[in-house]
Amino acid sequence: MHFIDILFPRNVGPLTYRCPETLKEIAEPGMLVSAPLKNGITKGILYRKSSSPPPGNAKEIMEIHGNRPLFNNSMMKLMMWMSDYYIAPPGLVLKQTVPNEMFETVKPKSSGLHALPSPYDLLSIPQEDLERCSEMVDSDLYQASLLYAASSQHEISIIASLLRTAVNVLVLFPEIIGATRFYSTIRNLGDRVCILHSDMAAGKRSEAIMGIISGRHDIVIGTRTSLFAPMQKLRAIIVMHEHVDSYKLNDGIRFNVRDCAIKRASLERIPVLLSSSAPSMESWANALGGRYRLLDMHSRIRIPKIRTIAMRYTKKVRPQLSSSVIVKSRGVLQKNESVLFFLNRRGHSTMLRCIECGSTERCHQCGIPLVLHKQQNLMRCHYCNSDVSIPEICKKCGDSRLELVGTGTQKIEEDMREIFGVATFRFDSDKAACRNIKSNIFEHASRDETRILVGTTMLTGALRGTAQFGMAAMLNPDIGLNIPDFRARERAFQEIVAVRDLINPSGELLLQTRLPHESLFRYIRDNDFAAFAAEELAVRKNLHFPPYSKMIDIVISRDRNFPQTAVRMIALTSKEIEILGPTERKTRKGEIEYSIIIRHPERRLLHAAAQSLKEKSSKMPDVEIRVDVDPY
């Protein structure tokens, strides 16, 4: 008898089945298979041919679909690598990465054309620069390259120009809106191009997948859903805006799409191009160290002027608005140009404080200060998202004198309308809850009557690749510098660059800060990312942070006594591993969990310790463990 191992999109390992004599000649790894599982028939992927029968009576597969593998050998290896690297069952990797429509074809409800967002305005790219980029993606060998572009618009223009002559390319974006706008931009390439992401209707996604399998679509634009796009003759992978946090998943298996794309390219033996106008420290270090080829184009175009405003010494119109920003904004508005006000803090006021005793209104679950949302007439916790009505008296002392402290995007929107008297549009996660606004953010932001936009990082992500403002003001860029995270300065730099990239080259970016001597602002003004990265990498090297060490976050829940036991178990695995924690924290559901960070230059030791702990805890019903590899 012949046996095969099948991988199902379930939380189970590969299961062994009998393969009928009539199917054994066509059975190949990567093929789509139907087999009995529990009380039904389920589709899975043929993982491998098995040389020995399983214990007990093996069931028989029902059908093999198609005449060739859905996944080639490299994609099967990628799936198993992800299982090993992220310490997760391969069935869960399959479930989380591969769209359901790969297993079950869904008929589109209609074949009508759907409106696409406005395409990007592309810059003219010199032929010499295009040839340098083409050389990197046309290679027949694996090579990772880093394109350091002058701006997001410059980056998108380069890649769009490359695709005019490229074939069999997968282009990844961190956000759906960026992918759809890019698809709209290169749609003139015809039926060769398709888009693939999680927000598509199931029928449309199924239609795209069938087109990819047939070879009709040889350029695939998408988000993490397209990581396993079944392209049979893939020639290159491009990862746009490679530094963006959205590539790292925060639910389920915490895998990094960028890193998995690089691994797929290495297994396929094809080039991979990472692009960014503010590269991640990991990619920059790899480029400096020779692991990646560096294509530095950061000085190819003119960028806006950048100026800092010391908030301690300047005259203020409002607590969060300097007179310099207001004066400059009036001048820009008079020229019929639009202005962006950026504040990465939604809501109206950041806290409600009692004048008498000084206490603040806090979330009863999380203990952090509640934020006033004036338009909704409530106080909201921005961690667990719970709401309470606005109190009339202090809960601690009973005094009725309560004052609003701090500023959020709702307050800035209110101030803008009062100060300038022009149409103002706000976009943050509160506004994004409205599906129509989120899907049409570019149209809302580009209306002639909209003169002022107020937003958070959600706005910069939605408009990435567009330079449409005459001026932008970051009202408190210091916020990002005060986060207890070793990547705080890197993310602050990237956030400022993201805002800068939305301004016309002749425009200006104003940075209101209480830390005017912070070196980060000097590097931003001088457009000197290399100097900033050198300083940042030197600090990380001294403190043993990535990319000079590896980290795994082991999160324990349900059992409050096990974390200390876990620390001892990890220490017994290897005395070389540095253990940080356990630290207690609350989840968004108000439950207690414990985090243990383990750190070491060798990933092998960390994986062995985490794997051992996970295996031992699996026998303890009151313990739940989640492993987050590379928690940054």
Predicted confidence (pLDDT) at residue 357 exceeds the cutoff of 80: no
Task: Identify whether residues 415 and 338 lie together within a single domain.
Answer: yes
Task: Identify whether residues 521 and 429 lie together within a single domain.
Answer: yes
Concatenating the DSSP letter of every residue in 470-512 gives EEEEES-GGGGGGSSSTTHHHHHHHHHHHHHTTEEEEEEEEEE
Task: Identify whether residues 453 and 504 lie together within a single domain.
Answer: yes
**Mean pLDDT: which of 23-37, 49-63, 416-430 is highest?**
23-37
Mention every residue, 6+ apart, whose C-beta is less than 8 A from residue 439: 177
Per-chain mean pLDDT for the chain: 88
Task: Identify whether residues 249 and 185 lie together within a single domain.
Answer: yes
Residue where a domain stops, chosen among 253, 276, 297:
297
Tell me the C-alpha distance between 229 and 3, whole Å: 28
Question: In this structure, what token pair is assigned to residue 296?
Answer: 């530095």
Mention every residue, 6+ apart, whose C-beta is less than 8 A from residue 405: 349, 350, 351, 352, 353, 360
Task: Identify whether residues 572 and 607 lie together within a single domain.
Answer: yes
The predicted pLDDT at position 590 comes to 73
Angle at 288 between CA 284 and CA 289, to 5 degrees: 115
* Residue 376 located in a structural domain: no
Predicted confidence (pLDDT) at residue 445 exceeds the cutoff of 90: no
Task: Identify whether residues 514 and 571 lie together within a single domain.
Answer: no
Tell me the C-alpha distance between 34 and 203, whole Å: 21
Lowest mean pLDDT among 197-201, 374-378, 439-443, 583-587: 439-443
Angle at 5 between CA 72 and CA 617, to 5 degrees: 105
The predicted pLDDT at position 411 comes to 84
Question: In this structure, what token pair is assigned to residue 474?
Answer: 């970051």
* Residue 481 located in a structural domain: yes
Predicted confidence (pLDDT) at residue 171 exceeds the cutoff of 60: yes
* Count: domains in the chain: 4
* Percent of the chain residues topping a pLDDT of 70: 92
Q: Are strands 305-310 and 503-513 parallel, antiparallel or unpaired?
A: parallel
Segment holding 327, helix H or strand E: helix 323-334
Task: Identify whether residues 291 and 319 lie together within a single domain.
Answer: no
* Residue 366 located in a structural domain: no
Structural domain including 474 reads 305-350+406-538
Average pLDDT over residues 128-132: 93
Lowest mean pLDDT among 16-25, 201-210, 320-329, 367-376: 367-376
* Residue 282 located in a structural domain: yes
Concatenating the DSSP letter of every residue in 284-298 gives HHHHHTTSSEEEEET
Write the CATH number for 198. Answer: 3.40.50.300
- Across-strand partners of 627? 554
Tens digits of residue pLDDT in 382-424: 656 678 888 878 877 888 877 666 678 888 888 898 999 888 8
* Residue 432 located in a structural domain: yes
Q: Minimal CA–CA distance to 282: which of 271, 291, 273?
A: 291
Task: Identify whether residues 474 and 580 lie together within a single domain.
Answer: no
Task: Identify whether residues 21 and 98 lie together within a single domain.
Answer: yes
The number of CA neighbours under 13 Å toward the Cβ of 239 is 28
Average pLDDT over residues 479-493: 87
Better-scored residue on pLDDT, 265 or 68: 265
Write the CATH number for 27. Answer: 3.40.1440.60
Average pLDDT over residues 50-67: 84
Tell me the C-alpha distance between 345 and 456, whole Å: 7
Task: Identify whether residues 459 and 577 lie together within a single domain.
Answer: no
Write the CATH number for 584. Answer: 3.30.70.600
Task: Identify whether residues 29 and 86 lie together within a single domain.
Answer: yes
Predicted confidence (pLDDT) at residue 269 exceeds the cutoff of 80: yes
Average pLDDT over residues 500-504: 96
* Residue 570 located in a structural domain: yes
Tell me the C-alpha distance between 239 and 292, whole Å: 14
Residue where a domain stops, chosen among 538, 566, 585:
538
Tell me the C-alpha distance between 207 and 204, whole Å: 5
Question: In this structure, what token pair is assigned to residue 100?
Answer: 């359901």
Predicted confidence (pLDDT) at residue 20 exceeds the cutoff of 70: yes
The predicted pLDDT at position 392 comes to 78
* Residue 121 located in a structural domain: no
- Across-strand partners of 316? 322
Average pLDDT over residues 98-106: 90
* Residue 530 located in a structural domain: yes
* Percent of the chain residues topping a pLDDT of 90: 62
Task: Identify whether residues 272 and 136 lie together within a single domain.
Answer: yes
Residue where a domain stops, chosen among 297, 315, 331:
297
